[in-house]
Structure 1
Amino acid sequence: MFKSWKLHILVLIFVILGEAIGVIQFDLGVGTVALFPMLFVLIWGGIISFPKLKLLSDKQMKNAAGILGISFMLFVAKLGTMLGPSLSKIFEAGLSLAFQEVGHVIGTIAIGLPIALLMGMKREAIGATFSIDREPNLAIISEKYGADSPEGRGALGVYVCGTVFGAIYLAILAGFLGSLGIFHPISLAMGAGVGSGSMMAAASGALAATFPNDAEEIALFAAAANLITTILGTYICVFFSLPVTARLYNWLEPKIGRFGKERG
């Protein structure tokens, strides 16, 4: 892993260029979109990883994935040091911090499942919409249905899309919503904790750029929400989200499935 000198050099160049560009903000009239260095680095990384360009081998990309996992462990450890001294603030948030979990569960099922069926997806829709499909959710769907099942393919597809586009999408969305002045920055920070380290970092970074005076509390509450989602979300997906999604699929698919009732 650490012998991939080409990979490390490319990462170093991207980090230097990203920091040199800094935060770029666009005024859209009804709000502002903030683009910060992590977004640029993600886009550049996606470009050089494109198979046809042959700039990186499969082995190098697998090494990069391993290094990313280590980096997130360090990132989560850093967030943990922020959580400890601020537990009193988190307890004050109380119900509001826990209630934000409802959106993470209901949003993917109530909105995502009907859309997936209208687009013509079959049982792949179950795996694609019962959660945001990060690592713990992939393990759940693989244990229940198998990795090679339609449900497994649906979950893996969303996982890949989330990895490639999730951080970019949430960063733009968070910056835009923050600039509208409708929502409190802490409520947006809670919403940033969707159970993905990269997505949470992207969204909270955009919010910190929009609300620089609240940057520390934004990072704190985003990390707390992300931790709650990761821990409680696993149990919620096993005992609620997945069974409910499967039942709703069986009920909705014959009614709104794009190609009519599923055969076989």
Structure 2
Amino acid sequence: MERSSTTSILCLHLIVLGIVLVSEVIGVRLIPIGIATVILLPILYAFAMGILLNPNSLKLTKKILTPKAVKMSGVMIAVAIMPFIAKFGTTVGPQMQTIIETGPALVLQEIGNLGTILIAFPVAVLLLKMGREAIGACYSIDREPNLALIADKYGLNSPEGAGAMGVYATGTLIGTFVFAIMPPLIHALGIFDVRALAMSCGIGSGSMLAACSGALVAAIPDQEDTILALAAASNILTYATGLYVGVFVALPLTEWLYRKARPGETRASAA
């Protein structure tokens, strides 16, 4: 049994290595769309191939990858992203003056995360008729710190936990694609400053940060240092302040809105 697990883990590493090599061979591709250009990065190809080779969707990989190996791959994502985050951290120091010049914008951008409540919550409750799952799904973008908050307050087996996990899985599956495609398209509109676009990359997700900042650097290569520094600082602040905003503002606000939308419903009856 132990030998089977070891073989499965070895196969997992070989599959990942193959995906990386193929993605790097394909390289960066530019697709003109009207006034803008969609930039396809290797991370997109790797993500797509990873989905296609998922043991839950492909019988061949299901035969060679054990559940233990699949579980380990989820843990390794966090480990693998750490050197990338550390590299981003080294860009913050040399660009500290630029970061300071952004003033309160970098700190106040956390308010933008409340947009998930204003936009998604009415759709979830009024249009899709969701129950208390809407609280976990809409109070934030549901990355790791937000999941931890929901798990601590409600438990992941609760309706709120189901909503949060659903958005987390959806963000993991398609968030990288969206964040890799949006920056060059929005930049082409000529509405936002490059610094604002860079700050928007830091939403508290390592993979989305990589895709967003990478696409933005590809679109504006002469601003690479500024983009990477502001994106990294924004991501760090999101981690630092996002949890407090969730605890004291976002989650209580979403709870209050849900009680207003469903005044006769108790949590026990909803569960």
What TM-score, normalized by structure 1, do the two folds share?
0.92
Task: Determine if contact 1:32/1:180 at 8 Å carries over to the other structure.
Answer: no
Q: 2:142 aligns with which of 101, 121, 133?
A: 133
Structure 1 residue aligned with 2:121: 113
Q: Distance in 2 between matches of 1:214 and 1:16?
A: 28
Structure 2 residue aligned with 1:222: 231
Give deviations 1:234-256, integer Å, cap 9, x for gaps.
111011100001101111246xx
Q: Secondary structure at the match of 1:147?
A: coil
Q: Distance in 2 between matches of 1:6 and 1:95?
A: 49
Q: 2:182 aligns with which of 156, 173, 178?
A: 173
The structure-2 alpha-carbon separation of the partners of 1:250 and 1:30, relative to structure 1 and needing over 3 Å to count, comes to farther
Q: Distance in 2 between matches of 1:206 and 1:123?
A: 36
Q: Distance in 2 between matches of 1:58 and 1:209?
A: 38
Task: Determine if contact 1:31/1:179 at 8 Å carries over to the other structure.
Answer: yes
Structure 2 residue aligned with 1:32: 37
Task: Determine if contact 1:179/1:210 at 8 Å carries over to the other structure.
Answer: no
Q: How does 1:28-177 map to 2 (within 5 A)?
A: 28-54=33-59, 55=61, 56-104=65-113, 106-117=114-125, 118-177=127-186
* Structure 1: runs of 5 or more not aligned: 255-260
Task: Determine if contact 2:124/2:134 at 8 Å carries over to the other structure.
Answer: yes
Q: Distance in 2 between matches of 1:135 and 1:119?
A: 25
Q: Distance in 1 between matches of 2:118 and 2:254?
A: 9
Task: Determine if contact 1:14/1:44 at 8 Å carries over to the other structure.
Answer: yes
Percent of pairs with identical residues:
45
Shift of 1:262: 5.0
Give deviations 1:153-172, integer Å, cap 9, x for gaps.
10011111111111111111
Task: Determine if contact 2:95/2:226 at 8 Å carries over to the other structure.
Answer: no
Shift of 1:46: 0.9
Q: Distance in 2 between matches of 1:67 and 1:141?
A: 23
**Which residue type is aligned with residue 28 of structure 1?**
I
**Which residue type is aligned with residue 146 of structure 2?**
N
Give deviations 1:60-90, integer Å, cap 9, x for gaps.
2212112211111111111122212322221
1:8 aligns with 2:16: no
Task: Determine if contact 1:108/1:129 at 8 Å carries over to the other structure.
Answer: yes
Structure 2 residue aligned with 1:247: 256
* Structure 2: runs of 5 or more not aligned: none
Task: Determine if contact 2:95/2:225 at 8 Å carries over to the other structure.
Answer: no
Q: Secondary structure at the match of 1:131?
A: coil
The structure-2 alpha-carbon separation of the partners of 1:37 and 1:52, relative to structure 1 and needing over 3 Å to count, comes to closer
Structure 2 residue aligned with 1:192: 201
Q: Distance in 2 between matches of 1:9 and 1:44?
A: 14
Q: 1:238 aligns with which of 243, 247, 251?
A: 247
Q: Secondary structure at the match of 2:34?
A: coil
What TM-score, normalized by structure 2, do the two folds share?
0.89
Structure 1: which 4+ aligned runs deviate by more than 4 Å?
Answer: none
Shift of 1:179: 2.6
Q: Distance in 2 between matches of 1:72 and 1:7?
A: 17
Q: Distance in 1 between matches of 2:73 and 2:228?
A: 25
**Which residue type is aligned with residue 157 of structure 2?**
D
Task: Determine if contact 1:34/1:176 at 8 Å carries over to the other structure.
Answer: no
